[in-house]
Chains A and B, each alone.
Chain A
Amino acid sequence: MKFNYDLEFKNNSNNNFWKQNTPLIEYCETLGINVPHYCYHKNLSISGNCRMCLVELKNSPKPIVSCAMNAKSCLANGDIHTNSSLVKKARENVLEFLLLNHPLDCPICDQGGECDLQDQSLFFGLAKKRFYSFKRVVLDKNIGPIVKTVMTRCIHCTRCVRFAAEIAGIEDIGMFGRGLHSEIGTYVEKVFQSELSGNVIDLCPVGALTSKPYPFVNRNWELKNITSIDFSDGFGTPIQLFLKNNQVIKILPGYEKATYKTNWISDKTRFSFDGMFSPERIIYSFLDNNQKESFLNLSWQKLFKELFCTLYFQSHLLKHYFHPCSITICLNKNISLEVLNLLHILTHKHSFFKLRQSESSNLNIDLEENFLLNSSLDEAKLAASDTCVLLGVNPRYEGPKLNLKLKSRCLKGNFKTITIGSLFNLTFSNITLSSNIQILKSLVEGNNLFCQEFINSSNPVLISNAEIFRRGDAYGISSMIKSLIKHINLYSQTNGRNHLNILSSTLNDVGFANFDNLRTIKNKDFRNSAGIYFINSSFSTSNVKKLLNLKLLNFFQSYKHKNKLLVTQGSSLEMSQLTNFKKSFDVTNHLHLPNTVFFENSGTYINTEGDINKVIKVITPLGQAKSDWQIIRKVFSYSKKIVFLTNFLKNSKIVFNSKNIHQFKSYVGFQYYAVSNLNNLTFQFVEKVTKFHLENLKFKPAQKKLFKSQLRFWLSDFYIDGKDINSKYSSTMIQCSKLSRLNNTNFKF
Chain B
Amino acid sequence: MMSAARLLARRLPSAANRANAAGQLRSMGHAQSFHINTPDNTPETYFDFTEENYQYVNKVLSKYPANYKQSAIIPLLDLAQRQHGGWLPVAAMDKVASIVEAAPSRVYEVASFYTMFNRTKVGKYFIQLCGTTPCMICGSEDIKKTIEKHLGIKNGETTKDGMFTLLEVECLGACANAPMVQLNDDYYECLTPKTMVELLEACKEGKPPAMGKWGSLPMNGQVSCEGPLGKTSLWEVPEPPKVNVERFKDGAVDPASVKAHMSY
Within 8 A of A (CB), among B7-43: 7, 22-25, 28, 30, 32-35, 37, 43
In the bound complex, CA of A174 to CA of B102 (Å): 13
Pick from B7, B25, B28, B108: contact of A176, CB under 8 Å: B108
State whether B43 touches A171 (Cβ < 8 A): no
State whether A178 touches B43 (Cβ < 8 A): no
| Contact residues in B for A173 (Cβ distance below 8 Å) | 105
What's the dominant secondary structure at chain A's contact region? loop
State whether A176 touches B23 (Cβ < 8 A): no
In this assembly, does A187 line the interface, its C-beta being within 8 Å of a C-beta of chain B?
yes
Q: If A134-B22, A183-B34 touch, does A174 touch B106 (CB 8 Å cutoff)? A: yes
| Contact residues in B for A165 (Cβ distance below 8 Å) | 103
In the bound complex, CA of A174 to CA of B104 (Å): 10
State whether A176 touches B43 (Cβ < 8 A): no
In the bound complex, CA of A188 to CA of B24 (Å): 29
State whether A186 touches B22 (Cβ < 8 A): no
Shortest CB-to-CB span from B66 to chain A, Å, is 14
In the bound complex, CA of A748 to CA of B44 (Å): 10
Shortest CB-to-CB span from A443 to chain B, Å, is 29
State whether A188 touches B112 (Cβ < 8 A): no
Q: If A139-B4, A185-B34, A189-B1 touch, does A174 touch B105 (CB 8 Å cutoff)? A: yes
State whether A177 touches B103 (Cβ < 8 A): no
In this assembly, does A172 line the interface, its C-beta being within 8 Å of a C-beta of chain B?
yes
In this assembly, does A180 line the interface, its C-beta being within 8 Å of a C-beta of chain B?
yes
Q: If A174-B105, A187-B108 touch, does A133 touch B24 (CB 8 Å cutoff)? A: yes
State whether B34 touches A139 (Cβ < 8 A): yes
In the bound complex, CA of A178 to CA of B111 (Å): 10
Within 8 A of A (CB), among B66-85: none
In the bound complex, CA of A139 to CA of B113 (Å): 18
In this assembly, does B90 line the interface, its C-beta being within 8 Å of a C-beta of chain A?
yes
Q: If A134-B24, A176-B112, A180-B28 touch, does A187 touch B35 (CB 8 Å cutoff)? A: yes
State whether A188 touches B25 (Cβ < 8 A): no
In this assembly, does A734 line the interface, its C-beta being within 8 Å of a C-beta of chain B?
no
| Contact residues in B for A133 (Cβ distance below 8 Å) | 22-25
In this assembly, does A215 line the interface, its C-beta being within 8 Å of a C-beta of chain B?
no
| Contact residues in A for B105 (Cβ distance below 8 Å) | 171-174, 186-187
In the bound complex, CA of A316 to CA of B22 (Å): 89
In the bound complex, CA of A748 to CA of B42 (Å): 14
State whether B33 touches A134 (Cβ < 8 A): no
Q: If A142-B1, A183-B34, A185-B34 touch, does A172 touch B112 (CB 8 Å cutoff)? A: no
In this assembly, does B198 line the interface, its C-beta being within 8 Å of a C-beta of chain A?
no
User: Beta-carbon contacts of A270-303 to B below 8 Å, as 1s and 0s?
Assistant: 0000000000000000000000000000000000
In the bound complex, CA of A548 to CA of B25 (Å): 70
User: Beta-carbon contacts of B108-126 to A below 8 Å, as 1s and 0s?
Assistant: 1100110000000000000
| Contact residues in B for A741 (Cβ distance below 8 Å) | none
Pick from A179, A183, A186, A748: contact of B28, CB under 8 Å: A179
| Contact residues in B for A188 (Cβ distance below 8 Å) | 34-35, 43, 90, 104, 108
Identify the closest chain B residue to A170 (Cβ): B103
| Contact residues in B for A174 (Cβ distance below 8 Å) | 105-106, 108-109
User: Beta-carbon contacts of A152-181 to B below 8 Å, as 1s and 0s?
Assistant: 000000000000010000011111111111
Identify the closest chain B residue to A133 (Cβ): B24
In this assembly, does A182 line the interface, its C-beta being within 8 Å of a C-beta of chain B?
yes
Shortest CB-to-CB span from A746 to chain B, Å, is 14
In the bound complex, CA of A178 to CA of B109 (Å): 9
State whether B108 touches A178 (Cβ < 8 A): no
State whether B103 touches A182 (Cβ < 8 A): no
Shortest CB-to-CB span from B119 to chain A, Å, is 9
Shortest CB-to-CB span from B106 to chain A, Å, is 6
In the bound complex, CA of A139 to CA of B32 (Å): 10
In order of increasing CB-CB distance, the 5 nearest A-B pairs are A177-B33, A171-B103, A174-B105, A187-B108, A183-B33
19 contacts between A and B (CB under 8 A): A133-B22, A133-B23, A134-B23, A134-B25, A139-B34, A142-B1, A171-B106, A174-B105, A175-B109, A176-B113, A177-B30, A179-B28, A181-B28, A183-B33, A187-B34, A187-B35, A188-B43, A189-B35, A748-B44
**Which residues of A does B touch, CB under 8 Å?**
133-134, 139, 141-142, 165, 171-183, 185-189, 748
**Which residues of B does A touch, CB under 8 Å?**
1, 4, 7, 22-25, 28, 30, 32-35, 37, 43-44, 90, 103-106, 108-109, 112-113
Given contacts A187-B109, A188-B43, A188-B108, 12 further A-B contacts (CB under 8 A): A133-B23, A171-B105, A173-B105, A174-B108, A176-B108, A176-B109, A176-B112, A178-B30, A178-B112, A179-B28, A183-B34, A187-B108
